[in-house]
Copies of this chain bind each other. A is one copy, B any other.
């Protein structure tokens, strides 16, 4: 997510974090389109050059700010598919209305802004896909899940259903909802779903 500065000086981790939190606040307050790098810097008593020293632009800053809200834990490994899936989903979406507000201010802009979409997908979707792929690969090894399911599609079911619930239905994500998705959709699709059109390859 972050990397040492090019100059080799010790990176000011506290200031970077303050800038990312200010970015989160502004996303929740005004949304992506109206967020300015000037405003982010001003909230931290910094100049915009401080921001540009660390981030190439608004999409990259915002992607890091959003990634900071999503704890990308290592893949859970309890030996039970359902438990791993619930733990994974809880790590992505513990009840946190501030996070929902930040992400809500962002989803909107992703439709029209390919650069932002790529940056957010790189920060969130790719790590999530890798955790899901790891959890499922272990279940395949244990014989819990057939190896030819449409893993790529099923891996998007949880993000898609939470995204839809937040934006279209404007309802929050809680543990009860997570368990409904795991038990009602993800596990049955993994266990009883049709084969992948790609023959079960776990494409990433």
Residues of B within 8 A of A169 (CB): 121, 156
Say whether A193 faces chain B, with CB atoms less than 8 Å apart.
Answer: yes
A108 vs B159: C-alpha distance in the bound complex, in angstroms?
Answer: 17
Residues of B within 8 A of A157 (CB): 157, 160-161, 185
Stretch at the interface among A36-44, A56-64, A86-94, A110-118: A110-118
Say whether A125 faces chain B, with CB atoms less than 8 Å apart.
Answer: yes
Q: How far is the CB of A160 from chain B (nearest CB, A)?
A: 4
List residues 144-183 of chain A with CB under 8 A from any CB of chain B.
Answer: 149-150, 153-154, 156-157, 159-161, 163-170, 176, 180-181, 183
Interface residues contributed by chain A, number (CB under 8 Å): 45
A164 vs B120: C-alpha distance in the bound complex, in angstroms?
Answer: 14
Verify A109–B112 contact, CB threshold 8 A.
no
Say whether A189 faces chain B, with CB atoms less than 8 Å apart.
Answer: yes
Residues of B within 8 A of A111 (CB): 104-105, 107-108, 166-167, 170
Residues of B within 8 A of A163 (CB): 160, 163-164, 167-168
A31-B112, A183-B194 known; A164 and B156 CB under 8 Å? yes
Q: How far is the CB of A80 from chain B (nearest CB, A)?
A: 15
A125 vs B164: C-alpha distance in the bound complex, in angstroms?
Answer: 12
From B107, B165, B176, B184, give the contact of A189 (CB < 8 A).
B184
Say whether A191 faces chain B, with CB atoms less than 8 Å apart.
Answer: yes
Say whether A3 faces chain B, with CB atoms less than 8 Å apart.
Answer: no
List residues 59-100 of chain A with CB under 8 A from any CB of chain B.
Answer: none
Query: Could you list 11 A-B pairs, sorted by A, with CB under 8 Å?
Result: A105-B112, A107-B167, A108-B108, A110-B168, A117-B170, A149-B184, A157-B157, A164-B164, A183-B193, A185-B193, A189-B189
- 9 closest Cβ pairs, A-B complex: A160-B164, A108-B108, A183-B194, A150-B184, A192-B192, A188-B192, A188-B193, A160-B160, A188-B188
